[in-house]
Amino acid sequence: EKGGFEHFMIKEIHEQPKAIKDTMTSRIMADCDEIKLDDIKLTSEQLKNIDRIYIVACGTAYHAGMVGKYVIEKLAKIPVEVDIASEFRYRDPIINEKTLMIVVSQSGETADTLAALKQAKSKGARVIAVTNVVGSSVAREADDVLYTWAGPEIAVASTKAYVTQLIAMYIIALYLARLNGNISVEEYRQIRDEMLTLPEKSQEVLDQKEELQKFAASNYMHKDIYYIGRGLDFAVALEGSLKLKEISYIHSDAYAAGELKHGSIALIEKGVPVIALASQSELYDKMVSNIKEIVSRGAKVIGFAFEGNSEIEKTVNQAVYIPKTLDILAPVLLVIPLQLLAYYTAVEKGCDVDKPRNLAKSVTVE
């Protein structure tokens, strides 16, 4: 059942090219200028009435939501707030019939996410559910559904569900942006064509796994490992850090790189490993100077960037490259090496990768 792999997690990591492809199938198609979404009935008239979007989720799904905020605001130009479901419910959020809520949940059964959905519905909001389980509670309660076609995810640490949630975020962002006319057909085509290359490019990233295995083998004994990034890279840094702590029990945090100097940089000492994500072109130079700041304080940095952006090599201890794509799509490719890093680190430590201590696959208590 593990298809020749040692753990479900590594099997599921390898299933990502297919999961990405399946989630786009019949929705985003080459030579078709329309996005087809069977279970989303929101009309352009209804969208005109929407003045804010909340994306609500927990854990990894929340990290996908952070990417969602960025791309929806960028493409559809509608203000988006992202909230952790267990916080959203108790902060008395402003919800009315002008609110669109997007809930993201692999299982569709997470108690806090479901409760936030019900709260929003009772106050008149329209709800789109992004879930991996057909007929799950969130799918049943929502007005519209966008299924991620990741297939069953067994490992507690979410991997293929996350990348398909990212694809769902792009699909929703593009759908809304076409519906309210904020992007042209030409802009749509450019993003669509690039999205269609992601299955192949994600396979190329998987093919670099030995490099990450080596890094894990020489760093698994560390007590703290930090992740830094700016913009979308920060959202991916949070996900990479969660993956590591969840399965390897190594203490880890992710920081917005520009925020380091406001406190967290005090943690950097000689030999501490830092994973630095530098995919975003507008932020690349800023990232390089943030990396210099921590290297000069002794950090051992592994830097991630697009192929061709080799400037980081002058500063970092090791560089890992991902295939070139649009900046907004980088999270899909960038998260894969971070999943591999977490996986190999946990394996080196002899941890129970698929069933980490204290955790359950689906959290159905509040």
| Residue 260 beta carbon to ligand M6R: minimum distance, rounded to whole angstroms | 25
Candidates 56-64, 184-192, 298-306, 316-324; binding stretch for ligand M6R (CB under 6 A): 56-64
Q: Is 341 in the site for ligand M6R (CB under 6 A)?
A: no
Q: State the helix-helix crossing angle for 160-179 and 59-76, rounded to 10 degrees.
A: 20
**Exposure string for 164-173, b = 16+ CB within 10 A, e = fewer:** bbbbbbbbbb
- The answer to whether residues 3 and 11 touch, using CB atoms and an 8 Å cutoff, is yes
Return the residue nearest ligand M6R (CB atom). Answer: 59
CB burial class (10 A; 0-12, 13-18, 19+) of residue 21? middle
Q: Is 60 in the site for ligand M6R (CB under 6 A)?
A: yes
Residues β-bridged to residue 251: 224
| Residue 284 beta carbon to ligand M6R: minimum distance, rounded to whole angstroms | 29
Q: Is 10 in the site for ligand M6R (CB under 6 A)?
A: no
Residues 236-265 that bind ligand M6R (CB under 6 A): 246
Nearer to ligand M6R, 106 or 315 (CB): 106
Nearer to ligand M6R, 117 or 319 (CB): 117
| Residue 352 beta carbon to ligand M6R: minimum distance, rounded to whole angstroms | 14
Using CB under 6 A, pick the residue from 107, 241, 280, 339 that binds ligand M6R: 107
Residues 167-226 that bind ligand M6R (CB under 6 A): none
| 361 is known as an active-site residue | yes
Q: Is 58 in the site for ligand M6R (CB under 6 A)?
A: yes
Count residues near ligand M6R (CB under 6 A): 15
Residues β-bridged to residue 52: 99
Nearer to ligand M6R, 157 or 302 (CB): 157
Q: Tokens in use for 347?
A: 């394996």
Write down the residue that tokens 């297939």 correspond to.
151
Do the bridges between strand 126-131 and strand 144-147 make them parallel or antiparallel, or are there none, so unpaired? parallel
Using CB under 6 A, pick the residue from 16, 23, 86, 110 that binds ligand M6R: 110
295 phi/psi in degrees, rounded to 5: -65, -40
Using CB under 6 A, pick the residue from 10, 40, 61, 260 that binds ligand M6R: 61
Kindly state the helix (H) or strand (E) to which residue 83 belongs, with its residue range: strand 80-84
Q: Is 9 in the site for ligand M6R (CB under 6 A)?
A: no
Write down the residue that tokens 């329309």 correspond to.
34
Q: Is 315 in the site for ligand M6R (CB under 6 A)?
A: no
Q: Is 106 in the site for ligand M6R (CB under 6 A)?
A: yes
| Residues in contact with ligand M6R, shown as a per-residue x/- string from 117 to 156 under the rule CB under 6 A | ---------------------------------------x
Candidates 53-61, 190-198, 252-260, 276-284; binding stretch for ligand M6R (CB under 6 A): 53-61
Distances (CA, A) of 149 to 17, 18, 95, 283, 334: 12, 9, 30, 32, 20
Q: Is 113 in the site for ligand M6R (CB under 6 A)?
A: yes
Using alpha carbons, select from 39, 150, 73, 74 the residue that is nearest to residue 105: 150
Distance of CA 352 to the CA centre of its chain: 24
- The answer to whether residues 131 and 148 touch, using CB atoms and an 8 Å cutoff, is yes
Nearer to ligand M6R, 107 or 202 (CB): 107
Contacts of 67 (CB under 8 A, 6+ apart): 166, 169, 232, 235, 236, 331
Kindly state the helix (H) or strand (E) to which residue 144 belongs, with its residue range: strand 144-147
In angstroms, the CA 167 to CA 95 distance is 26
Nearer to ligand M6R, 72 or 168 (CB): 168
In angstroms, the CA 327 to CA 325 distance is 6
Using CB under 6 A, pick the residue from 46, 197, 264, 362 that binds ligand M6R: 362
Q: Tokens in use for 268?
A: 């950097």
| Residue 75 beta carbon to ligand M6R: minimum distance, rounded to whole angstroms | 24
Residues that bind ligand M6R (CB under 6 A): 58-61, 105-107, 110, 113, 156-158, 246, 362-363
Residues annotated catalytic, as ranges:
361
